[in-house]
Structure 1
Amino acid sequence: MSISRRHLGIAIVRQYERGVVFRLGRVRDVRDPGVRFMIPLVDRMPKVTPWPWSTTCHTTWPR
């Protein structure tokens, strides 16, 4: 049986990413790069790239 890091509450945020922590569906925090710990099965952390030319960030940038 394999246990992933997600179920252990460990996430690695790379230098060019930021992690947005959701706890039970609500935004809790924005995490900077590094090894980050979360509460297993309660927290979710999708990673986004905060650059205007990125397709993974859903932020509207002023023109």
Structure 2
Amino acid sequence: MKTLRFIKKKIRILHFIKSYSYLCRITSAKDLIDVNYLLALKSATIIQYTIKGRFMSR
């Protein structure tokens, strides 16, 4: 069960990295602030999932 959670977390992180690289390719320099804002929101969600997973597995 713990292995499955670990794999799901890895998939979320890889999806985040993939979306980051995609956003960097499609945006211009003036839109970079908006991209960084969206990424900050998304990374906070990933961290929240990770913390919840750790507390729930104990």
TM-score class normalised by the smaller sequence? under 0.3
Q: Quick check: which one's strand share is greater?
A: 1
Structure having the higher Rg? 2
TM-score calculated relative to the size of structure 2 = 0.21
TM-score calculated relative to the size of structure 1 = 0.20
Q: Which has the higher contact order (CA 8 A, sep 6+)?
A: 2
